[in-house]
Structure 1
Amino acid sequence: MSIITDLGDKISMVDLHDLFVPERTGSYILHEEQPSIIETSASPSIPHLLNGLEQLEIQPEEIQYIIVTHIHLDHAGGVGVLLEHCPNATVVVHPRGARHIANPTKLIQGARAVYGDQFDRLFDPIKPVPEDRIITMKDSEQLRLSEDRVLTFYDTPGHAKHHFSIHDSVSNGMFTGDTIGVRYAQIADEHEFILPSTSPNQFNPDSMIQSMQRIKGLGVSRIFFGHYGVSEDPENVYRQINYFLPIFMDRGRKVEQEDEEQSSSEKAERLYELLIESAASHLVDRKVSDDHPVYQLLEVDLKVCAQGIIDYLEKNKSKQ
């Protein structure tokens, strides 16, 4: 049985067990006469999503739109597989991402470079989406799902250039994907802990802050994260990104200055050590034990974050 959370406002969240762990990636079901889905995660998660639809008594044939905030495989890798079960659905994607879900060759190559030997277990299979079943939404374009529910799409780069965030008129919530970080639901009862997601290869810290300021300026009431769940305190989300992102960048510059002769992978490994140290210090101060399961996810995330920061700094050496 899939884990389903009723979030109110005719929104349900299905736990997709991304990376084969709970509370990692969620798919949001918008309950209208023709339901729509936001986020699919990777292909191994699709059975959880289909089971969630069954529990909600939604037939896959009823799905109108499958919306992905961006095309990284932990958010959109399963869209081709899901579409095979949803014959009447249309996929909604950022204009920069459409050609990559139609032909995912470069997506696969990029993910293999990051995840190495783990790629097949985490992401296979990745199936192309027919071009005639894709639509794109430009900045500030709207999609009406019902008389009451309108989705507005905002171009929000920083984590990736092919990223939009989606405002929901019913909940006054924003589906932010990875734009303003990862929420570690495993410790949310003790402390709502949010870190920026700085994965390669389009991470840009300035764009991330600008996107966050844009979301803040819209006065949203709720933040729906790709990873994982909903925050009812957007101001706390903004505070944590404003706190941690400069720390991440300062640690990255420190590593760059330590030994410019090191390889990128060596720099990323050193930076990971500094990032996990910073996160652990924050959690210890908040009485989270050092053997808490959240550290398993932090290890995965911060290794990828370190790669993205080093990639950014190496591409922008003249600006440092």
Structure 2
Amino acid sequence: MKDLIHYGDGVHAIDSGYGRPQLAAIHVIVQDGRAAIVDSASNASVPRILGALAALDIAPEAVDWVLLTHIHLDHAGGAGSLMCALPQARLLVHPRGLRHMIDPGKLWEATCAVYGPERAFDLYGQLVPVPAERIVPATDGLEIHVGSRMLRVFDTPGHARHHICIWDSVARAFFTGDTFGLSYRELDVDGRAFVVPTTTPTQFDPEGMHASIDRMLAMRPQAMYLTHYSRVGEVDRLGADLHRLIDTMLAVAEAARGDGVARHVEIVAGLEQIFREEAARQNWALGEEETLELLRMDLELNAQGLGVWLDSRQTGATGA
């Protein structure tokens, strides 16, 4: 299976097929003939997951867990459909996200507010609810097992309040969802990876993100497995880059004038400049304009998230 990567330590990655090649990874953890799946991407990704399980000689009945780092639909949109295909699996999700897996109506409304109904349906299809009795709340410190392998839940707010990361005791690595940023393989230079923070709407919390990054780094991980896109090493270097870029992006947002569309346009322009400079600093494999085109959707969503963060500071608003 050409889109299946074997990393060793029982960790495998599937290209979900979401958006473009090497945009979203789904990870499979295998131990003692049992398996867990980290994130599900969209409904269209389910056949790829089942094909990867077959290639790994893992029956659907041998999958014990589907682990959602958070419930944004590029990570969780296919979870309900996937659970239908995995009869023994339980779904692990942050307590704040649990109700949205049981009844995805409000989650769908929020997604449509960002993308519009037609685009949202094209990306994710029809959301399928998960029976409550098959869901386990992912509380901080919870330990679960895949065969003899222990996985531990870390509550990691910052990208969203309902975000968790999963510590793998065998690989000595985290499955980080979006908390440890985005690392696109198109930017790699001679195997050297780079990382970009994601401040998307609506629950970006910079203090929480800084704290979550430091909490993971304190475990001295050998690698991080990002949903966008898969394994990175040199985690201390990348963590330092994340801290620096988060603060730089905050400065751009705080300097933006006005409100509404005018402020948004100014934030986008500021983010573009940050990543022009970052492309030069890091000597990314793509040129400035190619980099901006690759990051175009991320820049737009990050600017939206920074705008929501600015407004929440003024109103003291909090969300679920």
TM superposition score category, shorter chain reference: over 0.9
Cα distance in 1 for residues equivalent to 2:171 and 2:202? 32
Deviations 1:79-103 (A, max 9, x none): 0011111111111111111111111
Greater shift, 173-182 or 273-282, is seen at 273-282
- Which one of the candidate residues 299, 315, 319 is aligned to 1:302? 299
Report the counterpart of residue 133 of structure 1 in structure 2.
134
Q: Does 1:69 align with 2:69?
A: yes
Deviations 1:190-222 (A, max 9, x none): 442211111111110011001111111111111
The residue type paired with residue 23 of structure 1 is Q
Q: Does 1:283 align with 2:284?
A: no
Q: Does 1:222 align with 2:223?
A: yes
Task: Give the secondary-structure state (helix, strand or coil) at the position aligned to 1:181.
Answer: coil
Report the counterpart of residue 112 of structure 2 in structure 1.
112
* Contact map agreement 1:220 1:234 (CA 8 A) in 2: yes
The residue type paired with residue 131 of structure 1 is A
Please give the residue correspondences for 1:239-258 in structure 2 after superposition, counting only pairs within 5 Å: 239-255=240-256, 258=257
Counterparts in 2 of 1:41 and 1:296: CA distance versus 1, 3 Å: farther
Report the counterpart of residue 25 of structure 1 in structure 2.
24
How far off its partner does 1:63 sit? 1.1
TM-score (normalizing by structure 2): 0.92
The residue type paired with residue 103 of structure 1 is D
Report the counterpart of residue 34 of structure 1 in structure 2.
34
The residue type paired with residue 278 of structure 1 is I
How far off its partner does 1:294 sit? 5.0
Please give the residue correspondences for 1:4-23 in structure 2 after superposition, counting only pairs within 5 Å: 4-19=4-19, 21-23=20-22
Report the counterpart of residue 146 of structure 1 in structure 2.
147
Report the counterpart of residue 121 of structure 1 in structure 2.
122
Cα distance in 2 for residues equivalent to 1:4 and 1:189? 22
Cα distance in 1 for residues equivalent to 2:284 and 2:140? 42
Report the counterpart of residue 267 of structure 1 in structure 2.
263
Task: Give the secondary-structure state (helix, strand or coil) at the position aligned to 1:227.
Answer: coil
* Contact map agreement 1:150 1:168 (CA 8 A) in 2: yes
| Percentage of identical aligned residues | 29
* Contact map agreement 1:2 1:15 (CA 8 A) in 2: no
Deviations 1:248-306 (A, max 9, x none): 11111111xx22xx32x442233122212211222134153437765444101111011
Aligned residues: 312
The residue type paired with residue 11 of structure 1 is V
Cα distance in 1 for residues equivalent to 2:291 and 2:216? 27
Cα distance in 2 for residues equivalent to 1:269 and 1:71? 28
Cα distance in 1 for residues equivalent to 2:216 and 2:284? 31
Report the counterpart of residue 78 of structure 1 in structure 2.
78
Report the counterpart of residue 231 of structure 1 in structure 2.
232
Report the counterpart of residue 203 of structure 2 in structure 1.
202
The residue type paired with residue 97 of structure 2 is G
Give the unaligned 5+ runs of structure 2.
none
Cα distance in 2 for residues equivalent to 1:143 and 1:35? 12
Cα distance in 2 for residues equivalent to 1:288 and 1:238? 20
How far off its partner does 1:145 sit? 1.7
TM-score (normalizing by structure 1): 0.92
* Contact map agreement 1:70 1:97 (CA 8 A) in 2: yes
Report the counterpart of residue 312 of structure 2 in structure 1.
315
Cα distance in 1 for residues equivalent to 2:104 and 2:57? 32
Cα distance in 2 for residues equivalent to 1:287 and 1:23? 17
How far off its partner does 1:14 sit? 0.5
